[in-house]
Every structure is written in structure tokens, then in C-alpha cells.
Structure 1
């Protein structure tokens, strides 16, 4: 298993946050009109071009919100830090 260390603590927080951040991004991307992708596809853009030129620039607000949320959750979660860092 993962040793009692900072690496283990980071791992636990990443696993704990994946479900919430996935839900945040999924709901945000559902609000983006599908016509943007269809118009780009019509202009000859591929998947990665659509992602880098349309989706990623529009995603700035959800990236910031998710970063703030994750930071706040980690900051307020003292129990994981005490239990998994090995401090006596």
C-alpha cells in the first residue's frame, strides 16, 4: 500500500476530489452549446483543435472554481493530514 507520508496524503485528496471535480466539469460542459463543436467540425477542425481552440478557453471559469473548491476542501480537512502523515 501507500506508505504513511505526504505522497499518501496527496493521493487520498486526489482520489477524494476526483468525483466532485468530474461532476463539476461534466455539468459545465453540458452547458456549452453543441453548435460550437458542430460549426468547428464543419470548418474542418478535428477533436484536438476543437478542444484546444474552443473548449479549453471557455473552461477557464470552471478550472478556477474547481481549483478554489479543491484547495478549500484540502485546507479544511485536518483529519486526513493527521491520520496519514504519521505525526504523533
Structure 2
């Protein structure tokens, strides 16, 4: 198992209001297959993501909901 800390940039689907924070920090744990649906907990809510490790770069994608409905993608912040 690989644990990684990622900073996720959130983008609002609707431009009427902006999220209170433009990013959230997630911890993702990857399976030996390097791809696993990962529940996330962030500063503005929670959601689920798929984490894929490609050439030492962690790519997260998925849906995120909380104070604002957001979609997010992210790159590896650092392998722990």
C-alpha cells in the first residue's frame, strides 16, 4: 500500500458562488494495483475519488460535495 498526501484544486460547477477555500488536502491510499476508489474528507465536505499512480505522479479524480458542489482533480503533493 502507498499512502500519499494530495492537494486538490476544486472548481465550482456553477459560477454563481466560489468555494470558501480553493483547495482541500486529502490523504489517499493506493492498492498494489495503483487504482482504488477512495473516500475523501476535506475542508469543505466529503466525496469519493479514484487515485491512480502513474510514473510517481498521483492523479485523483472524482466528485466532491459539501458546502458547494464541486468537481476536483489533483496531483501528488508528496509520498508519505
Q: TM-score scaled by structure 1?
A: 0.25
Bigger Rg, which one: 1
In proportion to residue count, which structure has more helix?
1
**TM-score where L is the length of structure 2:** 0.26
Answer 1 or 2: which has greater strand percent. Answer: 2
